[in-house]
Amino acid sequence: MADDMRWKLFLNESIMFLLIQAIGLYVGYRFFLQQMIIPAETTSSIFTFLISFAVATVGLILLLKFFKTRVFFKFLLAFLIFVGAETVFLVFVPEEAAILIAIELVLLRFVWPNVFSQNLALIFAVSGISATLGLFFSFEAVLVILAVLSVYDVIAVYRTKHMITLFKGLLEKGVPFSIIVPDRAGDVRAQVKDAQPGTGRFLLLGTGDIAFPIVFAVAALKFGMLSSISIILGAFVGLFFIHLILMQKKVGAIPALP
């Protein structure tokens, strides 16, 4: 039983998950202290986000179906990496340096598209974008959004299955919006296109499942750092149970957000 649970893989999952959470929370905390982003009005921000999310999802599905070239998807991933990374590095270095580092990170990901560069780029992309969203939305808005998206996640995975279609489509394009967790340290040198789920070598964590705990935790900063840390610890417990479920035989994709 212990061998079936693949605890080494879970250790790798945990390190990357907690690292992203820590960076995102720290960046959000620094911006929170400086009051750089004022939360939007709750009701309007909820509708704006959900409508934007729906449009983006439908748009991606249509693009994957009819837009065969990878250029657009590579540009989209590059844009997200740049925006997120610049946000993170603005906390540590002047703006000009943050821009240069973000550009270098984008180049690293696409010049050497292996598991290491994919994960490094997405660590900063997810941390920065999630911290910004957590400051933009009120705590109450995030609660409503998470409740709606949790229901959506179940439907999208088990009912319509379009989330699986999106996931596989982006993976086939060579631009998965996922953290690729290798079972062995040497597999960080593997090419992104070879990091296929189901081979036993890799586990893919969707960026949304990693991002929303940060968004929730940053939005909760007004209640104190302890509240934010508690949210992240709760999400980590959820990650543990998801790992247990995924390690069971004949279990495919599952909705992680609920």
Interval 167-198: pLDDT, tens: 788 888 888 888 999 888 888 888 888 887 76
Calpha distance 233→24 (Å, rounded)? 14
Of the two residues 76 and 69, the one the predictor is more confident about is 76
Q: What share of the chain is helix, strand, coil (3-state, %, to 5)?
A: 75, 5, 20
pTM for the model: 0.90
Calpha distance 24→14 (Å, rounded)? 15
β-bridge mates for residue 178, sequence order: 206
pLDDT band at 251 (very low <50, low <70, confident <90, very high): low
Given this model, what pLDDT does residue 1 score?
A: 44
Structure confidence by residue, pLDDT tens digits, 223-237: 999 999 999 999 999
Given this model, what pLDDT does residue 109 score?
A: 95
Q: Please state the separation of Cα 9 from the chain's center in Å.
A: 18
Given this model, what pLDDT does residue 7 score?
A: 80
Domain count along the chain? 1
Given this model, what pLDDT does residue 141 score?
A: 93
Give a yes or no: residue 254 inside a domain: no
**pLDDT, mean of residues 13-29:** 96
Give a yes or no: residue 257 inside a domain: no
Give a yes or no: residue 255 inside a domain: no
Domain extent, residue 89, equals 2-246
Give a yes or no: residue 256 inside a domain: no
Give a yes or no: residue 172 inside a domain: yes
> Which parts of 90-224 fold into alpha helices (H)?
95-111, 115-136, 139-154, 162-172, 207-219
Structure confidence by residue, pLDDT tens digits, 123-167: 999 999 999 999 999 999 999 999 998 888 888 777 777 777 887
Given this model, what pLDDT does residue 212 score?
A: 93
